[in-house]
Amino acid sequence: MLKYNLMHPSPSEERRRHKKKRLVQSPNSYFMDVKCIGCYRITTIFSHAHTVVACPGCTTILCTPGGGKCKLTARHEQKP
């Protein structure tokens, strides 16, 4: 007998699986809206960006690449 149900895995277990081996395939990446504190402009950023993303209004750095997901800097607000 199995210790866990294959048809109804827990959400934490489902997140750990590879994106193509989940019950419903879904990507690990996403887009997020980040608001700059300096000029209050909203910029859309890809979660796995490979380049430094700067604010188009005041050229403040919003995120830096970090070997997978990009690292957000302290001078921003993320919209849900």
Return the pLDDT at 4: 75
Name the residue range of residue 54's domain.
28-78
pLDDT tens digits along 49-69: 999 999 998 888 999 998 888
Does any domain span residue 40? Answer: yes
Q: How far is CA 15 from CA 8, 12, 43, 53, 76, in A?
A: 13, 5, 27, 27, 27
What mean pLDDT comes out for the span 68-78? 79
What mean pLDDT comes out for the span 29-45? 90
Does any domain span residue 71? Answer: yes
Total count of domains within the chain: 1
Return the pLDDT at 66: 87
Beta-strand relationship, 76-78 and 31-36: antiparallel
